[in-house]
């Protein structure tokens, strides 16, 4: 596939319109898994089957076609890895968390003290806001994710709300900044950072106090692996992964919105207010469905029943419907949702596809609808810059 219009497609579009666009993905396939040379993309395979997207720092993608509907949780080894700087080496015995700012009782918390606080387990999906960036046109400078910068795990930790309650919020508190121990300097391709800075993102007070925001120390029943934030990370369920700060070291409660580098220059989109575009931070995950199988460029027998499978998610809402199309979006057939809905997690789906009789290249698509009535858009919104890639993406297969 030249990637269906990375901008999206609509009913009545011809084949050329469907296939125009994403050149990087077919090139990657043609080169045997090596992604198109753009930015720092490696495109190599690791022993666990992960796809390397960047070496220094390491960024890894889950091969989405390996999705197993029998296993709702993504293993720690195959959970995508997003890092901005080098992974800090922090031991649980030496770790501590500072809570300060607009609070009545600033304090420090050790790992043992955190573990003694009442904890909870939560299943939640994390998705990089750039997942699917390879399909955008014109090509964007950044990690060249295809479909696999997403995963669902079970997290265990202490609600952030409990830590904030212990500190006592002052009446003028507005936002909560989460600061990681990872630090570095960015010179390209985005605007330069003001020297060496830590990775930090903020949450509005209402989200910070929500029960689905954890200070997690376990992932799928074991201690957090180093690349996933050991010993403690934030997990902000329902929001894109950039909010779930890893290697957490400091919490700062502020009396004004935080306009840090990763809140403004990166992980931000345009929002139209009174007809004027205003930059706002990326926040909640949008409704989305992806096709795992058939995989791009898979050879599919003609005139047969093919079990199409995939996953859909909708952030803070539930997926209520998934539809598939094999005629450019002119008609849609409803797929079967499998398993039980779990809030903040993905929902698997399947569809028995009657493959066409005519051989050649063919395009299939999937779109999801959620409990808020939102349906996955067909066209890309350019105001989303290089993030929040939730429009319908086509999968091209070869019918033989």
Q: Is residue 19 part of a domain?
A: no
Tokens of 300: 């599919």
Q: Does 218 score more than 90 pLDDT?
A: yes
pLDDT at 46: 58
CATH code: domain of residue 251 = 3.90.420.10
Q: Count CB neighbours of 246 within 10 A.
A: 27
Q: For residues 140 and 386, give the distance between their C-alpha atoms in angstroms, rounded to a whole number.
A: 6
What is the band of 187 on the pLDDT scale with cuts at 50, 70, 90? Answer: confident
Q: Does 24 score more than 70 pLDDT?
A: no
How large is the average pLDDT for residues 4-17?
Answer: 33
Q: For residues 386 and 133, give the distance between their C-alpha atoms in angstroms, rounded to a whole number.
A: 7
How large is the average pLDDT for residues 70-93?
Answer: 96
Q: Which residue has the higher pLDDT, 146 or 24?
A: 146
What is the band of 45 on the pLDDT scale with cuts at 50, 70, 90? Answer: low
Q: Does 12 score more than 80 pLDDT?
A: no
What is the band of 337 on the pLDDT scale with cuts at 50, 70, 90? Answer: very high
Strand ranges of the sheet holding 107-110, from the earlier edge strand across to the other edge: 107-110, 96-101, 248-254, 175-184, 197-204
Q: Is residue 21 part of a domain?
A: no
Q: For the chain, what percent of residues have pLDDT higher than 90?
A: 84
Q: For residues 110 and 117, give the distance between their C-alpha atoms in angstroms, rounded to a whole number.
A: 11
Residues in CB range of 94: below 8 A, 6 or more apart: none
Q: Is residue 65 part of a domain?
A: no
pLDDT at 47: 54
Q: Does 14 score more than 80 pLDDT?
A: no
Residues in CB range of 352: below 8 A, 6 or more apart: 305, 306, 307, 308
Average pLDDT, rounded, for the chain:
89
- Segment 231-267, tens digit of pLDDT: 999 999 999 999 999 999 999 999 999 999 999 999 9
Closest CA to 214 of 225, 222, 203: 203
Q: Is residue 269 part of a domain?
A: yes
Q: Count CB neighbours of 114 within 10 A.
A: 21
Q: Are strands 51-54 and 59-61 parallel, antiparallel or unpaired?
A: antiparallel
Q: Is residue 53 part of a domain?
A: no
- Segment 118-139, tens digit of pLDDT: 999 999 999 999 999 999 988 8
pLDDT at 188: 78
Q: Does 294 score more than 80 pLDDT?
A: yes
Max Cα–Cα distance, the chain, nearest Å: 71
Task: Out of 5-14, 106-115, 143-152, 286-295, pick the least confident.
Answer: 5-14
Q: Is residue 262 part of a domain?
A: yes
pLDDT at 385: 93
- What secondary structure letter does DSSP report for 287? P
What is the band of 44 on the pLDDT scale with cuts at 50, 70, 90? Answer: low
Q: Check if the beta carbon of residue 135 is closer than 8 Å to that of residue 391.
A: no
Closest CA to 396 of 288, 312, 298, 306: 298
Helix segments in the chain, DSSP class H: 15-19, 24-30, 111-116, 160-167, 205-208, 261-264
What is the band of 310 on the pLDDT scale with cuts at 50, 70, 90? Answer: very high
Q: For residues 99 and 163, give the distance between their C-alpha atoms in angstroms, rounded to a whole number.
A: 8
Q: Does 92 score more than 90 pLDDT?
A: yes
Q: For residues 143 and 38, give the distance between their C-alpha atoms in angstroms, rounded to a whole number.
A: 9
pLDDT at 190: 73
Q: Is residue 71 part of a domain?
A: no
Q: Does 23 score more than 90 pLDDT?
A: no
Domain of 255, in residue numbers: 84-117+150-281
pLDDT at 295: 95
How many domains does the chain contain in total?
A: 1
How large is the average pLDDT for residues 317-346?
Answer: 96
Give the predicted TM-score (pTM) of the model: 0.88
Closest CA to 208 of 260, 143, 161, 140: 161
SS3 372: coil
Q: Is residue 358 part of a domain?
A: no
């Amino acid at each position: 596939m030249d990637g269906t219009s990375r901008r999206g497609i609509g009913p009545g579009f011809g084949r050329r319109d469907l296939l125009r666009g994403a050149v990087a993905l077919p090139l990657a396939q043609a080169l045997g898994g090596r992604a198109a040379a753009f930015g720092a993309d490696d495109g190599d395979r690791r022993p666990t089957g992960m796809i390397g997207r960047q070496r220094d720092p390491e960024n890894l993608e889950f091969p989405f076609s390996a999705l197993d509907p029998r296993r709702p949780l993504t293993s720690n080894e195959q959970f995508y890895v997003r890092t901005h700087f080098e992974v800090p080496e922090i031991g649980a015995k030496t770790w501590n968390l500072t809570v300060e700012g607009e609070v009545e009782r600033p304090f420090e918390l050790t790992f043992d003290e955190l573990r003694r606080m009442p904890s909870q387990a939560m299943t939640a999906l994390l998705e990089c806001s750039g997942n699917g960036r390879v399909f955008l046109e014109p090509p964007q400078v950044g990690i060249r994710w295809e479909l696999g910068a997403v995963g669902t795990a079970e997290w265990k930790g202490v609600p952030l709300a409990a830590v904030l309650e212990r500190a006592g919020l002052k009446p003028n508190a507005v936002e909560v900044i989460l600061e990681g121990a990872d630090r570095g300097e960015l010179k390209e391709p985005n605007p330069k950072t003001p020297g060496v800075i830590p990775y930090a993102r903020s949450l509005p007070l209402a989200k910070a106090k929500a029960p689905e925001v954890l200070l997690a120390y376990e992932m799928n029943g074991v201690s957090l692996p180093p690349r996933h934030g050991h010993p403690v990370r934030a997990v902000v369920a329902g929001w894109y992964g950039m909010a779930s700060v890893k290697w957490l070291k400091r919490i700062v409660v502020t009396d004004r919105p935080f306009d840090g580098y990763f809140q403004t220059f990166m992980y931000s989109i345009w929002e139209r207010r009174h007809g004027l575009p205003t930059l706002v931070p990326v926040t909640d995950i949008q409704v989305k469905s992806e096709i795992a199988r058939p995989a791009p460029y898979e050879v599919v027998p003609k005139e047969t029943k093919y079990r199409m499978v995939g996953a859909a998610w909708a952030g803070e809402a539930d997926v209520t419907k998934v539809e598939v199309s094999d005629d450019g979006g002119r008609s849609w057939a409803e797929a079967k949702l499998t398993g039980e809905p779990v809030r903040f997690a993905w929902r698997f789906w399947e569809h028995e596809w009657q493959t066409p009789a005519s051989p050649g290249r063919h395009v299939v698509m999937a779109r999801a609808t959620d409990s808020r009535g939102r349906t996955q858009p067909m066209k890309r919104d350019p105001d989303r810059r290089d993030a929040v890639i939730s429009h319908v993406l086509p999968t091209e297969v070869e019918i033989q």
